[in-house]
Structure 1
Amino acid sequence: MEYQNFDCQIDDGCARIRMIGPGSPRLEDLGDEFLDLGLRLQEDRGVRCLLLTDGDHAFEFHHELADLSRAQSSADGIGRLDAGTEMSRKIVTLMAELPKPIIAATRGDIRNFGLGFFMAADIRLATSSATFTAPDLSAGLLPGWGLSYTLPRLIGPGRTLEFLTARRTLQAQEAFRIGLLDRLIEEEQWEEEIDTLVQRLRLIPQPAFHLLKLGVQQSVNLDYTTMLSLEWESQQQCWQSLETSEGLLAWQEGRDPVLGVDTSGDQDD
């Protein structure tokens, strides 16, 4: 797979995706590529998880505010804004609906719309060298990317408003303490801990992870009794899947499951 803004290498069931190219790309240039890549990886049965990392540059991309400013008074101004908003909506929706785990891992600076991209991952990792800066609201446009939904659920309404409006840069330690990060990793253990997590995720039957992800996403809107019912419905779907059958057999035989192999009639996806 060759793209201008991403390098993707598939290794032992993990699609390792890193940012490439000079500077911070425009959302319009990056978005189409990521959507194409994401859909390809979704259909690839051999890919068990996705790992997004900063490569040539950090997670940072942006709207062309100069163009939007000039277009604001023109007839097609709102259309140009809508195009960028629709692109970000498609990206975060794809990431939310992908049945495979997505890890975002950074040792650099998360800035501007890169914050929304990073936060849309299922699991977020960083070293102590990472920093986090919200998009600048001084132009009068909202940050978008579902941050007004995601952040209050992670760090609370008050901290969300303070973080998005003060535009101060959070160091990794504070980001981890308030809940923006799921794990803070020592620099010397970076590769080892990521590889260990990837190896663990690739051995989980996909129906189990997909249904767990859906349940966690819905849990904030459902009561306890409804969630118990949803868990049982999901458990039954897992029970009927071929990947779960392989997982149970592998556990009984004391070996790793063999997953991600195309099987005629398998409806796990």
Structure 2
Amino acid sequence: MSELLVEDADGVRTLTFNRPESYNAFTTPLKEAFLAALQDAAADASVRALVITGAGRAFCAGQDLKEHIGLLQAGDPAPLNTVEKHYNPIVRELIAMPKPVIAAVNGSAAGAGASIAYAADLRIAGQSAKFLMAFANVGLTADSGASYTLPRLIGYGRAMEMMLLAQPVGAEEALRVGMVNQVVPDSELLSTAHLLAAKLAKGPTTAYAKIKEALAAAADGTLEDALEAERRTQAECGATEDHREAVDAFVNKRAANFSGK
């Protein structure tokens, strides 16, 4: 059985963590498959939006601690370099993905699993979803980009509270503090995520990629950095077929037909 399911429909690629018996915890094979799938999605022009979710009752429980402790006891160096080898490249691919990424969070998202959701562009949570920064409970610090992404979603103080106290945050509280964009009944989670992803897939995907670039530059830089990123990305968008199509559609009072070019 594949630990990662890949499905395509209507320009949307869905990646499903498929270890439901282990709450989709990350093993080395799953991390490697997920990284390869992200790289493939980024390079595939037919993929215009991405949905990430988990099979069964959980989104992703983070690192598989059974595998982790077994390797530690065997003296294997793998547990100590997995951040560099797997988690860091995964988060870089997610944040730099030149198309929209939606995390459809079902059930528990803990540790690295929650961090993957934070690195997505949009997060839709089922009512049973909960987010847990459990690193401190096992004597570890943050990884998978959470120290970068979580404070940008909910602020430094709340992020520090989640990291130090390691208390779960339910779906409604996550919505209230801005951790997620939408909460829906569990039974409607995937259909809602796919509907939104399909809508984005029909949009000006090059412009979406440039919006992501501009926001990233502004988040890390000065006003001048932000203005320069806006200048560059606006010029790049202005040269696209999608921009010309949208302007013509507006002038002629018709719906635009975006190609992503």
Check whether TM > 0.5: yes
Which residue of the partner structure matches residue 8 of structure 1? 6
Aligned equivalents of 1:68, 1:138: Cα separation in 2? 19
Aligned to 2:61: 60
TM-score by length of 1: 0.84
Alignment: residue pair count: 255
CA distance in 2, matches of 1:144, 1:230: 28
The reply to whether residue 70 of structure 1 matches residue 48 of structure 2 is no
Q: What SS is found at the alignment partner of 1:61?
A: coil
Q: What residue ranges of structure 1 are gaps of 5+ in the alignment?
A: 261-267
The letter for the 1-side match of 2:61 is: E
Paired-residue identity, % = 26
Q: Which amino acid aligns with 2:70?
A: D
Q: What residue is the counterpart of 1:265 in the other structure?
A: none
- The residue type paired with residue 148 of structure 1 is S
Aligned counterpart, 1:47: 47
**Secondary structure, in 3 states, of the residue corresponding to 1:124?**
strand
The one-letter code of the counterpart of 2:55 is: G
1:220–1:11 CA distance, 2 compared to 1 (3 A): same
Aligned partner of 2:226 in structure 1 is 227
Does the C-alpha gap of structure 1 residues 112 and 228 become closer, same or farther in structure 2, counting only changes over 3 Å?
closer
Which residue in the other structure is 1:164 paired with?
A: 163
Cα deviation, 1:95-151, whole Å, max 9, x if unaligned, reads 111101000012311123211112111111112211111123243221211111111
Distance 1:252-1:44 versus aligned 2 partners, 3 A rule: farther
TM-score where L is the length of structure 2: 0.86
Deviates more, 1:182-191 or 1:199-208: 182-191
CA-based RMSD:
2.5
Structure 1 SS opposite 2:87: helix
| Alpha-carbon distance between aligned partners in 2 of 1:250 and 1:12, rounded to the nearest angstrom | 23
CA distance in 2, matches of 1:180, 1:47: 26
SS across alignment from 2:173: helix
SS state at 2:32 partner = helix
For residues 25 and 49 of structure 1, the distance between their equivalents in structure 2, rounded to whole angstroms, comes to: 24
Gaps of 5+ in 2: none
Which 10-residue stretch deviates more, 198-207 or 244-253? 244-253
What's the secondary structure of 1:7's corresponding residue? Answer: strand
Tell me the CA shift for residue 69 of structure 1: 4.2
